[in-house]
């Protein structure tokens, strides 16, 4: 191969010339392989190995998190029919309680997927009374507006609280 010493070729694509280097391992990478991180361009290998250190959740954390989030969200959703309008004020508080309960149960282990699945479980738990009500044909009798408002608020606060805080 004839090449000037200054010409770099991507490590993953030997025919692609590039001027970029991974700022962690110094490996030449092309634009396709480079990942822009807050600290500059990195190769996909470095990004992956970095993500692993943030990913500490173990398999039963998922079961714990999903179970706790769904059950607590479901109980809260049932209560909204009693508290009505006050749901708007109490739902974010419920979201914080659920996030803290999940975090306590998984002993502060973390992963992005764990947070996402917890949010999905919260949403499903919150909507369960609505879904069962619809299935049973209580379309007119059951006041759906509060469980739906509640689900929206509780899911967003829960996710923000759980995923937003750096440990």
64 part of the interface to Zn ion, by CB under 5 A = no
Residue selected from 7, 19, 25, 51 as contacting Zn ion according to rule CB under 5 A: 25
What is the rounded CA–CA span in Å between residue 107 and residue 101? Answer: 10
Q: What is the DSSP letter of 85?
A: G
Residue selected from 20, 46, 57, 119 as contacting Zn ion according to rule CB under 5 A: 46
Non-local CB neighbours of 33 within 8 Å, separated by 6+ positions: 10, 11, 12, 13, 43, 44
Residue selected from 33, 65, 91, 162 as contacting Zn ion according to rule CB under 5 A: 33
**Measured from the CB atom, is 25 or 131 closer to Zn ion?**
25
Minimum Å gap between C-beta 25 and Zn ion is 3
- Binding segment for Zn ion among 7-15, 65-73, 109-117, 138-146 (CB under 5 A)? 7-15
Instruction: Give Dmax (Cα) for the chain.
Output: 79
34 part of the interface to Zn ion, by CB under 5 A = no
What is the rounded CA–CA span in Å between residue 61 and residue 3? Answer: 52
């Amino acid at each position: 191969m004839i090449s000037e010493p200054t010409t770099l070729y991507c490590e993953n694509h030997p025919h692609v010339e590039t001027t970029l280097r991974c700022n962690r391992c110094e490996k030449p990478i092309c634009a396709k392989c480079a990942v822009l991180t807050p600290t500059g361009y990195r190769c996909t290998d470095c990004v992956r190995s970095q993500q692993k250190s943030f990913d500490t959740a173990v398999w039963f954390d998922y079961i714990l998190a999903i179970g706790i989030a769904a059950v607590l969200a479901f109980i809260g959703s049932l209560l909204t029919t009693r508290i009505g309008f006050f749901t708007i004020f109490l739902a974010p508080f419920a979201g914080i309680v659920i996030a803290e309960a999940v975090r306590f149960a998984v002993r502060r282990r973390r992963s992005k997927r764990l947070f996402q699945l917890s949010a999905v479980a919260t949403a499903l738990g919150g909507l369960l009374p609505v879904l069962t009500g619809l299935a049973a044909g209580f379309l007119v009798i059951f006041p759906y507006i509060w469980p739906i408002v509640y689900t929206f608020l509780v899911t967003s606060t829960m996710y923000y609280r759980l995923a937003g805080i750096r440990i």
